[in-house]
Amino acid sequence: MEMLQKEMDSTQLHVPLQEEPTQIDILCPNCMKKKLMFHTITDINCIDCGHEFVLVDAQTVRFK
């Protein structure tokens, strides 16, 4: 059931399921210096300041 939920969330946000972290083209809302590392839609963090975020839509994140 958990796998189906992850797949459904990924499909709705148009984000592919990935095993390894990847850099996304959204700047950190906190420091505005570096781009964010995407692990899962609920696990995104800044390389520079370390803040954690959650994906809201394709180009928007919010603080965790």
Domain total of the chain? 1
Given pLDDT bands bounded at 50, 70 and 90, which one contains residue 20?
confident
Does the predicted TM-score (pTM) go above 0.85? Answer: no
Cβ neighbours of 43 (radius 10 Å): 14
Can you give the residue range of the structural domain that contains 17?
A: 2-63
**Structural contact between residues 37 and 22, judged by C-beta atoms closer than 8 angstroms:** yes
Give the three-class secondary structure for 7. Answer: helix
Greatest alpha-carbon pair distance for the chain in Å reads: 38
pLDDT at 46 over 90: yes
Q: How many residues does the chain have?
A: 64
3-state helix, strand, coil in the chain (%, to 5): 20, 40, 40
